[in-house]
Structure 1
Amino acid sequence: MAPQQAEPEPRSRATNKIALASLSAMVAETSTFPIDITKTRLQLHATTRPISAFQVAAGILRQQGVPGLYKGLSPAIIRHLLYTPIRTVGYEQLRHAFVSPENHSVSLPTKALIGGISGVIAQVVASPADLIKVRMQADGRMVSQGLEPRYTGSVDALNKIIKTDGFKGLWRGVFPNIQRAFLVNMGELACYDHAKHLVIRNRIADDNICAHTLASIMSGLTATTISCPADVVKTRMMNQVVDEEGKLKYRSSYDCLMKTVRFEGFRALWKGFFPTWARLGPWQFVFWVSYEKLRLIAGLPTF
């Protein structure tokens, strides 16, 4: 286990971490994106009639082919070029602030707090790209229903959102988004960090791919469990548009939460749980194993 340092690290080292986090996130996002679009379509399925993730994925393939599974990939990658480096490097920087010469360890509650804070900061910056990604993923569902898509691409989506909703419209759904980001990163970053060092400290594995895999599995399950309700609300809030009467279906994230429970039942808050976990688990594995390996190659200490 690499010793934690209280001193601020050189700017060049922080820059390298940002670049490596971006590269690892691009690899992870591209390899798991079909699962993400399946999860998003499943969450937008606002009926009580049960439907499985397999049925959703099969429908996309049948109606749009393999390219349909990658609808919205470009804004998703742009989002992670901003979101992932900010949250991971930000987490490390905040973690350093809680390390003293007398105490080189950080408690799990403190890790959870700084994980949540770093996630919120990152999500505020990356929210416009997340909005465009959700809208384009939902567009594929409209095409499958025989409707005209709202957008022809990422740039068209950006222009139309600004034209109809103003520049502030790019941050529609930002509050449920940051709520989800806080919960996800509280579970994801803090759990990965704590679980990895727990595995190493108890000599279950060395600081290698085995420890990284075990830690990523635990963090993926934790993050999915606590964040899925916020993810459902976020997806629905970001996908809604003003109707012909100038009204929105949901007035706030709380209103969305209440209406979802009232009309679809409490279990609807965990719609897409298994595809979310199925996506977040592999995403975590690919990202953390890639990131840790790239850091080692670059001569940086492990996360």
Structure 2
Amino acid sequence: MNSLVVSWVFLECTQMKSGHEHGGVDTAQTKILLTSFSAMVAETTTFPIDLIKTRLQLHGESLSSSRPTRAYRVGLGIVREQGVVGLYSGLSPAIIRHLFYTPIRIVGYEHLRSVVSADNGSFSIVGKAVVGGTSGVMAQIIASPADLVKVRMQADGHRVNQGLQPRYSGPFDALNKIVRAEGFRGLWKGVFPNIQRAFLVNMGELACYDHAKQFVIRSRIADDNVYAHTLASIVSGLAATSLSCPADVVKTRMMNQAAKKEGKYLYNSSYDCLVKTVKVEGIRALWKGFFPTWARLGPWQFVFWVTYEKFRKFAGLSSF
């Protein structure tokens, strides 16, 4: 199956390259296709780490389970209870999310960057940060329902470990049940902490990747190649994780909570979630899942950017 997908993309890129040579292919459409495929590859590769990160962020939400735990123990627990397949619980909505989220933020960033500054070399890091955050917010608003379904399905594995029945049998079942129980607006539960996280993570990820790559090339540390992309990915992954982890913890807990029988929620707002988390678990709880998040963002960005940059080159497009 994977070989068929790769072959299809290879043929598409060949046609795109030919189209660019004759001026017959829309550049934005090409970028969207290549971005979507690159995001699918990166998401599938690093999804188990994201699942472990989500479980770590939910750990301690109950007063009876506030003792610290470690990422490897969470991972072993998932494999022991659900098998290796359990590490990919919630993958399908994650893929669907990235079909919307990643093309909008990546292509949107590049477009806004060209509008604000014709010369990328003279574009300041502050300007790139604002452009990156803005494109991330636009993308996250659209992709938030898929993100909600992904978090709920990932959290279901935690319920199974506690001897409870999973709430959803699949992404479409989750979507249907959420709309029935919480209304159409329920699909955007946690959208505000989600937007905050999207602004911060894209401010760190896109701006730092762009700026770090330009710095590496201008300083002649490396040419515009895999080495430069790897260095830029490490810097952007660390910056994005540091900035976004507190908002990510709040977002995960807000999106995971469902209404109880009496119609009450554990958290009334993002601020309430933030205060209760710090009060019960301490300030360090806001960086729960930091290392799994960084461990995922680094490889995710490496796989994504290397794949995306290579396909851009093959399709006859300039470097990002």
| TM-score, with length taken from structure 2 | 0.90
3-state secondary structure, aligned to 1:147: coil
> 1:44 corresponds to which residue?
58
Q: Deviations over 1:77-111 (max 9, x none)?
A: 0000000000000000000111247x862110000
Report the equivalent of 1:6.
none
Cα shift at 1:154: 0.5
* Equivalent residue number for residue 92 of structure 1: 110
- The CA distance in 2 between the partners of 1:110 and 1:250, in whole Å, is 35
Q: 1:286 — aligned with what?
A: 303
Pairing partner for 2:265 from 245, 248, 251 = 248
Structure 1 residues 51-70: aligned runs within 5 Å:
51-70=69-88
Q: Which amino acid aligns with 2:37?
A: L
Q: Give a deviation string over 1:202-235, Cα, whole Å, max 9, x none.
A: 0000000000000000000000001000000000
Matched, 1:23 2:41: no
- Name the amino acid aligned to 1:97: V
Q: Residue 174 of structure 2: which of 157, 172, 183 is its match?
A: 157
Q: Deviation of residue 174 (structure 1)?
A: 0.3
Q: Residue 50 of structure 1: CA displacement?
A: 1.1
Which segments of 5 or more consecutive residues in structure 2 lack a partner in the other structure?
1-22
The structural deviation recorded for 1:60 is 0.1
Task: Describe the SS at the equivalent of 1:282.
Answer: helix
| 1:141-175 deviation digits (Å, cap 9, x = unpaired) | 10111101000001100000000111111000000
1:32 equivalent in structure 2: 46
Say whether the 8 Å CA contact 2:121–2:214 is kept in structure 1: no
The alignment partner of 2:264 has SS state of coil
Residue number in structure 2 paired with 1:127:
144
SS of structure 1 residue aligned to 2:93: helix
Secondary structure of 2:123's aligned partner: coil
Matched residue, 1:188 = 205
In 1, distance between residues paired with 2:165 and 2:146?
A: 22
Q: Deviations over 1:256-284 (max 9, x none)?
A: 00000000000000000000000111001
Which amino acid letter does the alignment assign opposite residue 23 of structure 1?
A: F
2:122 counterpart SS class = coil
Which letter does structure 2 place at the counterpart of 1:259? K
User: Are 1:257 and 2:271 counterparts?
Assistant: no
2:188 to 171, 176, 189: 171
Residue type of the alignment partner of 1:270: W
Measured in 2, the distance between the counterparts of 1:214 and 1:21 equals 20
CA distance in 2, matches of 1:245, 1:125: 31
- In the TM superposition, residue 245 of structure 1 has moved relative to its aligned partner by 1.3
Deviation string, structure 1 residues 19-69 (Cα, Å, up to 9, x no partner) = 000000000000000000000001000143110000000000000001100
Mapped partners of 1:245, 1:94: distance in 2: 46
- Look up the SS of the partner of 2:318 in the other structure: coil
1:33 maps to a residue whose letter is: F
The answer to whether 1:225 aligns with 2:239 is no
- Which residue is 2:9 aligned to? none
Tell me the residue number matched to 1:274.
291
Secondary structure at 1:249 match in 2: coil
Q: Which residue pairs with 2:155 in the alignment?
A: 138
Give secondary structure in 2 for the equivalent of 1:243: coil
Q: Which residue is equivalent to 1:79?
A: 97
Shift of 1:10: 9.3
Regions of 4+ moved over 6 Å: none
CA distance in 2, matches of 1:267, 1:10: 54
Residue 302 of structure 1 aligns to a residue whose secondary structure is coil
Aligned length: 294
**Equivalent position amino acid for 1:275 in 2:** P
Where is the helix percentage greater, Structure 1 or Structure 2?
2
RMSD: 1.3
Code of the residue aligned with 2:27 in structure 1: it is R
In the other structure, the counterpart of 1:147 is 164
Query: Could you tell me the TM-score, scaled by structure 1's length?
Result: 0.95
